[in-house]
Structure 1
Amino acid sequence: MEKTDSFIRHYYLDWIRVLAMFTVFLYHCSMFFNSFEWHIKNNVIDDTYIEFFSLLVGNWIMPIFFMLSGMSAYYALKRRDSKSFLKERLLRLGIPLLLGIFLLSPPQVYVERIVSKQFKGSFLHFFPHYFDGLYLEIGGIGNFAFFGHHLWYLLMLLLFSVIMLPFFLKKRDVESKDFNILHYLFIPIPLSIAALTVNGIVNLGSWGIIFYLLLYVLGFYFFARDSLRLFVRKIGFPAGLLSVFFTAIYLSWVFLYGFPKGVSISWGLFLIIRVLLVWNMLFYILYLGERYLNFSNTSLKYASEASMPFYVLHQPIIILIGFFIYNLGLSIPLKLIFLVSLSFVTIMCIYQFMIRRFNLPRVLFGMKEIKDENLNRESVKPLKF
């Protein structure tokens, strides 16, 4: 940890964010091969080890980001007033979102329309049609992806930041009550209620918008506070065991019986199992992070700065590369290795040589401008979002 101006930086949170970002990248690579609906699919589907990975991480990967974002809001409001907080959010989230909507989403929609035989012709012929109707679902008829496809997270986070700011301002200087076992046991109840009642309202990445909002609020009010950090040290390992237990039930259920259809007792039990899986996984990840990753080095500084451009670029790159290989007669393992490695190298080359060194693309991808021409990396702080 580093302490500057009464602010303690917990490096393990940066590590968790970076590793979670890479997990999202692998998750979207897996979506090219598994049996779940996505923008483009390989000509041969794998419903074994790749689908296992998708199911393994699909429940908790986006909840991690909303929990971390709530924590980041707490730390940011400790050092900023409301005006500077909103300005930073608009710049760091709004500009990359607009970039995604108008530049990065059109090729993704085009690829989807081509492979699904909903459009014939070149991208130049398609582009004017990008503004025909709202894109609301995969395989739909609207094209305009107003939420930026995978950048829906930035849109939700921007909305949450604006909506919750008045409430956060009242509580930013007030330390919450000590987090204890009762909080740990009873907070999953409102999360479960949200999952059981309103999970279908703007459902993105396996969960509904209200579920994500609750996690964002919990990140601010509880997860960023010292009392919860102390509690995590005690409960982290048992929470890990519980997360493994609920994950095993979830995976067994899906592989043996499939996803429950319709509202029923089994459907409700299935959702509650998923909520408990996510809840315990959050504690376990924080426990592991603080125990093993609470340090900084040049790799963390570089990866933290690259995390936002990496997130913005990763899905369009995966889809475009997938478009050129989806019909090739290669084995799934070979295609998987090719897709993961070439996508990663392409993203990092674009970042290193086209974004990192120049102020305009830095701003477009949610990064700070460089004031020192010698690009002193030590002077650039890890990106928070």
Structure 2
Amino acid sequence: MKNGKSVRHYDFDWIKVIATLGVFLYHCSMFFNPFPWHVKNNVIETSGIFVFSLFLGVWLMPLFFTISGISTTYSLNNRSTSNFIKERLVRLGIPLIFGVFILSPPQVYIERITNHQFTGSLLDFLPHYFEGLYLDIGGSGNFAFSGLHLWYLLVLLVFSFISMPLFKVFSRGHKFRKCYFFILPSLLFFSGVINTMGLGGWDIVFYFIIFIYGYYFFSSSEFKPALKSAYKLFLPLAIITSIIYIVWFMMVLPKPNSIQDIIFYGVKTINCWSWLLVIFYLANKYLSFSNNFLKYTSEASMPFYVLHQPIIVAIGYFIYDLSWPIALKAFVLITTSFAMIMFMYHFVIKNIKILRILFGIKG
């Protein structure tokens, strides 16, 4: 707070924008890598693109939940409880519902026909969309109640509501001490014993802890100064654990519940935590400013996130069985998807009020 007013942290806005671009590239890589996805290329890539997927997949969604925890800090500070609930329902709930009923059916349809689970047109498939719950890629249920990639909005909505009493009762006056750099990741590691629901590479409990961190600690005024001295430790740690994690993953995954599996999870946790700190340090040092580009992309980030996967899946469907080189397909998929998303946002979505609401844009 400064002179009774909230100080805008532009570095957090930059992180949100860059993370949104990161998840776009990550989902483009899912078209080629060995992991299950809604539509896969006819040739699977197990080298460069796979390494890129493994590198990004460890810390990308935790970064989103950290930023969400931080933004919740300022949202609650500037709103009453009732207004906060209304804001969450409008900005998260409406895009989620739109995604479930409009954006998800074509993606499930493409998954079904490319996996030979359905024959016929999209119109033929629509009556079958409500048959069974869609729980995982390759399953038999069709109704994507979580909105597929929009599971993040659903989980964030739940986190916002269940944590609100906690945030209201306990003040955010916790100083970020340097010992937290080691205590907090220890809590993340021990959360691994709780096995509830895996999403995006981590358990939902892991995300909830990260979300709480964002609210109480990452938004603390002492957090950024503490990063300056810790950065020199966590940058090499992030690089080393990335190499260990990626090489280990590509060679052979350890057996579940073995000693090697526990060590592997520890490496993964340290890697995630280290990259989070490195990203926040670099953003604070180099991106603590605003310009017209940030204002534009910050508003565009939510509709971009909501729209990116359906576009990627649709374009992937038209090229997945072509005999093009992987490099050419990657170029076409990335550039065409990005151009279509930005065209739809700039010329259509941001100019029509009802679409602005459906895609979660403020105002």
Scaled by the length of structure 1, what TM-score is found?
A: 0.92
Q: How does 1:1-385 map to 2 (within 5 A)?
A: 6-172=5-171, 174-176=172-174, 178-195=175-192, 197-199=193-195, 201-255=196-250, 257-369=251-363
Equivalent residues of 1:15, 1:300 under 8 A apart: yes
Measure the CA separation in 2 of the matches of 1:68 and 1:18. 11
Measure the CA separation in 1 of the matches of 2:2 and 2:231. 25
Equivalent residues of 1:38, 1:138 under 8 A apart: yes
Measure the CA separation in 1 of the matches of 2:48 and 2:278. 24
Matched letter for residue 175 of structure 1: G
Moved over 6 A (4+): none
Partner of 2:7, secondary structure, is strand
Partner of 2:222, secondary structure, is helix
Measure the CA separation in 2 of the matches of 1:86 and 1:229. 29
Q: CA deviation at 1:83?
A: 0.8
Deviations 1:184-243 (A, max 9, x none): 112112211112x124x2111000110000000011110000111211122123211111
Q: CA deviation at 1:171?
A: 2.9
Partner of 1:225, secondary structure, is coil
Measure the CA separation in 2 of the matches of 1:124 and 1:198. 42
Equivalent residues of 1:71, 1:220 under 8 A apart: yes
Measure the CA separation in 1 of the matches of 2:50 and 2:128. 34
Partner of 1:322, secondary structure, is helix
* Percent identical residues: 48
Q: CA deviation at 1:360?
A: 0.5
Measure the CA separation in 2 of the matches of 1:43 and 1:3. 56
Equivalent residues of 1:3, 1:9 under 8 A apart: no
Q: CA deviation at 1:101?
A: 0.2
Measure the CA separation in 2 of the matches of 1:271 and 1:253. 11
Equivalent residues of 1:236, 1:286 under 8 A apart: no
Partner of 1:8, secondary structure, is coil
Q: Which runs of 5+ in 1 are unaligned?
A: 370-385
Matched letter for residue 170 of structure 1: V
Q: CA deviation at 1:72?
A: 0.6
Partner of 2:202, secondary structure, is coil
Measure the CA separation in 2 of the matches of 1:155 and 1:149. 10
Deviations 1:28-75 (A, max 9, x none): 000000111111100011100000100111000000000111111111
Measure the CA separation in 2 of the matches of 1:134 and 1:210. 22
Q: CA deviation at 1:355?
A: 0.4
Equivalent residues of 1:237, 1:287 under 8 A apart: no
Counterpart in the other structure of 1:372: none
Matched letter for residue 253 of structure 2: F
Measure the CA separation in 1 of the matches of 2:300 and 2:4. 26
Measure the CA separation in 2 of the matches of 1:192 and 1:97. 30
Q: CA deviation at 1:5?
A: 5.2
Scaled by the length of structure 2, what TM-score is found?
A: 0.98
Deviations 1:72-97 (A, max 9, x none): 11111111111111110000000000
Deviations 1:128-159 (A, max 9, x none): 10000000011110000000000000000000
Measure the CA separation in 2 of the matches of 1:175 and 1:181. 16
Q: CA deviation at 1:349?
A: 0.7
Measure the CA separation in 2 of the matches of 1:340 and 1:5. 44
Partner of 2:289, secondary structure, is coil
Measure the CA separation in 2 of the matches of 1:213 and 1:271. 18
